[in-house]
Amino acid sequence: MKIRKGDNIIVIAGSEKGKKGQVARVLKEQGTIIVEGLNLLKRHQRARKAGQKGQVVEKAMPIHASNVALLEHGKPVRVGKRLVGEKWIRVSRRTGKEI
């Protein structure tokens, strides 16, 4: 997967299309990512102790990696790989610069 934790992304498909955010977590096995503040779902949480109230918690749900694009200087870019020495680095397809 070419998107990593901490990357700034823009959603290019789905109900959150056009929104920007930062990757909080990458789930490689499912091919999905969790973005801070996007794709929120409300979950009702039961009171854990007697006398405590239940609450509604907003939880960020995963977005498929194919529905997001990496942001570089405010524009979406596709990501490629280049071999430098013995190490692979991520490069922008738009500019060819290292990400």
Q: Where are the domains of the chain?
A: 8-92
What is the pLDDT at residue 79? 94
The model carries a pTM of 0.84
- Per-residue three-class SS string for 20-43: EEEEEEEECCCCEEEECCCCEEEE
List pLDDT tens digits, range 46-80.
998 898 999 999 999 999 999 999 999 999 999 99
What is the pLDDT at residue 9? 97
- What are the two backbone dihedrals, phi and then psi, of residue 76, each rounded to the nearest 5 degrees? -70, 140
8-92: which CATH number, 3.40.50.300, 2.30.30.30, 3.90.1150.10, 2.60.120.260? 2.30.30.30
Rg (CA), the chain: 17
**Residue 99 pLDDT > 90, yes or no?**
no
